[in-house]
Amino acid sequence: MSDLCSMSLSRALLGLRRREYGALDLTRSCLERIRATEPYLNACISVLEESALERAAALDEIGPREDKPLWGVPVMLKDIICLKGHPCTCASRFVENFIPFYDAGVASRLKEAGAVIVAKNNLDEFAMGSGTENSAFGPTRNPWDLARVPGGSSGGSAAAVAAAQAFGALGTDTGGSIRLPAGFCGCVGLKPTYGRVSRFGVVAFGSSFDQVGPLARSVEDCARLFEVIAGPDPRDATSARLDLHPGGLPEQDFVRAALEGGEREPQDTLKGLKIGLAREFWDSGLTPEVERVCRGLLDKLADAGAVLEPVSLPHQKYAVASYYIMSSAEASTNLARFDGVRYGRRAEQAGELDELYVASRSAGFGPEAQRRIMLGTFVLSSGYYDAYYRKAAQIRRLLRGDFDRALENCRLILAPTCTRTAWNFGFTENDPLLAYKMDLLTVTLNLVGLPGLALPAGLGDESRLPVGVQLMGRPFDEAALFRTAAAVERLLPPLGKPGGV
């Protein structure tokens, strides 16, 4: 029974329906795996053993239900997503004692679909980072090589899924935090179109960027999770009213799209499909092995009949700067509510109110969160607003124009998820700008609000570490991403299991 957790989510569902095993068996198998691997990985901030076992037993009591698409499946949540009755730490000492009394929109959808939530995953504090090194609970390690980062900020979720601690997990992506760790850990991860998934009950970082999305071990598994969490939520004012979508909606059946892409011969899906390649992404200083793995994929795509078209994104060179200006501006306002009075741990030895704020915030926030607050406050201050924030907002608009033009002719755009594979701990420690530059290939999609699906393209021939690529699409066209990604997945040999655990 101990190996049940290594199956794909889709296979697990099949066995549950056929009563080969129950929800409790799967949950126990995951908990066993967590116990065995956590001493190395540190992918979870809290393991919800008791509530998960209780819930699985209750599900088994009722028996499998066809109308519950994730019935009996153990999954995890990044610890910035509220789950009623369990701490939501955001990997920060400041709010480590915060216990939400309600479920996030995505958490209630998972529960409604019959999933069992087994753990809350480690992350960079308030999702700020690219390596899961900025957690107050210590870093998560990469299951492919324990000396390396899993990517971030949803590194706990990606490491957990890659190490088969659960069948899938939900992360958040503000500037790449699902796609980057998916790439580094060899998982499949989706950043949905902005507004596609509810942000209700998700602690805000950059409100106009944040999206919740799934991480899984296959394209089909990822589609199954996404199908459950996608859709409008009246409690989130930015969640999209799809009935108002101009020109009608693209295909909305994600699981079917993934299944079709995976069942047909890859040529049937890829023949004649126009895939855009932007020089600005490909000439961005990829390491030779990332370049080799990705070029290998391009050759296979061309052999399968895909049409690879050069496209141009002239404003991409301003993306990292614009992203860090705007996301920090939003972060500084979002984090303003953590004052040690209404929210967050209160400093004890403070006299006046001002001192209380300063003492609480200085003790509560880690160095990266403090850096973002200072940067964000600076770019929003009068006198600097026009020079920074306004300019960044203009770039954002221009970039969206670049994408709209590129995606008029091409259905998708393909790029690596990062210029390199997972780095060693400490690589960016004394150089925050270096860490920011690692987001070069991911932040653009968040600026423009479009969907992106990351999947493994192979292992680097030197590092033997996963190399990720991302497919970017038109607004609300996630089905095209799933269909194409499933075909790509068939073109490539499986990565195998991570060797670090």
Q: How far apart are CA 169 and CA 395, in angstroms?
A: 33
Helix axes 288-303, 478-491, angle to 10 degrees: 100
Q: How far is CA 400 from CA 313, 422, 439, in A?
A: 9, 29, 18
CB of 443 to ligand GLN, least distance (A): 7
Quick one: 151 or 261, whose CB is closer to ligand GLN? 151
- Which stretch in 90-98, 172-180, 287-295, 379-387 sits in contact with ligand GLN by CB under 6 A? 172-180
Q: How far is CA 266 from CA 263, 294, 469, in A?
A: 8, 18, 17
204 Cα distance to chain centroid: 15
Identify residues 20-49 at the interface with ligand GLN (CB under 6 A). none
CB of 169 to ligand GLN, least distance (A): 15
Binding mask 236-275 for ligand GLN (x = CB under 6 A): ----------------------------------------
Q: Which residue has the tokens 């996030």?
A: 104
**Helix or strand run (H / E) with residue 178:** none
Contact between 315 and 402 under an 8 Å Cβ cutoff? The reply is yes
Active-site amino acid positions: 78, 153, 177
Binding mask 283-322 for ligand GLN (x = CB under 6 A): ----------------------------------------
Q: Which of 140, 327, 417, 428 forms a contact with ligand GLN (CB under 6 A)?
A: 327
CB of 177 to ligand GLN, least distance (A): 3
- Which stretch in 174-182, 401-409, 475-483, 484-492 sits in contact with ligand GLN by CB under 6 A? 174-182
Q: Which of 175, 276, 340, 344 forms a contact with ligand GLN (CB under 6 A)?
A: 175
Closest CA to 83 of 63, 55, 58: 55
- Which stretch in 7-15, 33-41, 171-179, 288-296 sits in contact with ligand GLN by CB under 6 A? 171-179
- Which stretch in 21-29, 50-58, 88-96, 169-177 sits in contact with ligand GLN by CB under 6 A? 169-177
Q: Which of 25, 60, 103, 173 forms a contact with ligand GLN (CB under 6 A)?
A: 173
CB of 329 to ligand GLN, least distance (A): 12
Binding mask 205-234 for ligand GLN (x = CB under 6 A): x-----------------------------
Residue 458: left (phi > 0), alpha (psi -120 to 50), or beta? left
Quick one: 194 or 357, whose CB is closer to ligand GLN? 194
Identify residues 85-144 at the interface with ligand GLN (CB under 6 A). 127-130
Quick one: 236 or 260, whose CB is closer to ligand GLN? 236
Angle at 156 between CA 153 and CA 162, to 5 degrees: 120
Q: Which two tokens stand for residue 311?
A: 């496209």
CB of 269 to ligand GLN, least distance (A): 29
Cis geometry, peptide bond prior to residue 208 (ω within 30 degrees of 0): no
Helix locations, 252-313, DSSP H: 254-263, 266-270, 279-282, 288-303
Q: Residue count at the site for ligand GLN (CB under 6 A)?
A: 14
Closest CA to 66 of 99, 134, 18, 107: 18
Contact between 483 and 128 under an 8 Å Cβ cutoff? The reply is no
- Which stretch in 114-122, 167-175, 231-239, 303-311 sits in contact with ligand GLN by CB under 6 A? 167-175
> Strand, helix or coil at 459?
strand
CB of 210 to ligand GLN, least distance (A): 7
- Mind giving me the DSSP string for 313-366? -TTGGGHHHHHHHHHHHHHHHHGGGBSSSSBSPPPSS--SHHHHHHHHHHHHS-
| b/e 221-240 (16+ beta carbons within 10 angstroms → b) | bbbbbbbbbbebbeebeebb
Quick one: 6 or 284, whose CB is closer to ligand GLN? 284
Dihedral sign from CA coordinates of 11, 14, 19, 25: positive
Closest CA to 126 of 118, 117, 135: 135
CB of 420 to ligand GLN, least distance (A): 14
Quick one: 71 or 194, whose CB is closer to ligand GLN? 194
CB of 407 to ligand GLN, least distance (A): 22
- Which stretch in 104-112, 168-176, 285-293, 426-434 sits in contact with ligand GLN by CB under 6 A? 168-176
Quick one: 113 or 443, whose CB is closer to ligand GLN? 443
Asked if 439 interacts with ligand GLN (CB under 6 A), we say: yes
Report the Cα–Cα distance between both ends of the chain, in Å, rounded: 19
CB of 104 to ligand GLN, least distance (A): 16
- Mind giving me the DSSP string for 43-108? -EEEE-HHHHHHHHHHHHHH---TT-TTTT-EEEEETTB--TTS---TT-STTTT---SS--HHHH
- Which stretch in 166-174, 239-247, 404-412, 459-467 sits in contact with ligand GLN by CB under 6 A? 166-174
Quick one: 88 or 306, whose CB is closer to ligand GLN? 88
CB of 179 to ligand GLN, least distance (A): 9
Asked if 176 interacts with ligand GLN (CB under 6 A), we say: yes
Pairing type for strands 466-473 and 211-216 reads unpaired
Enumerate binding residues for ligand GLN (CB under 6 A).
127-130, 153, 172-177, 205, 327, 439
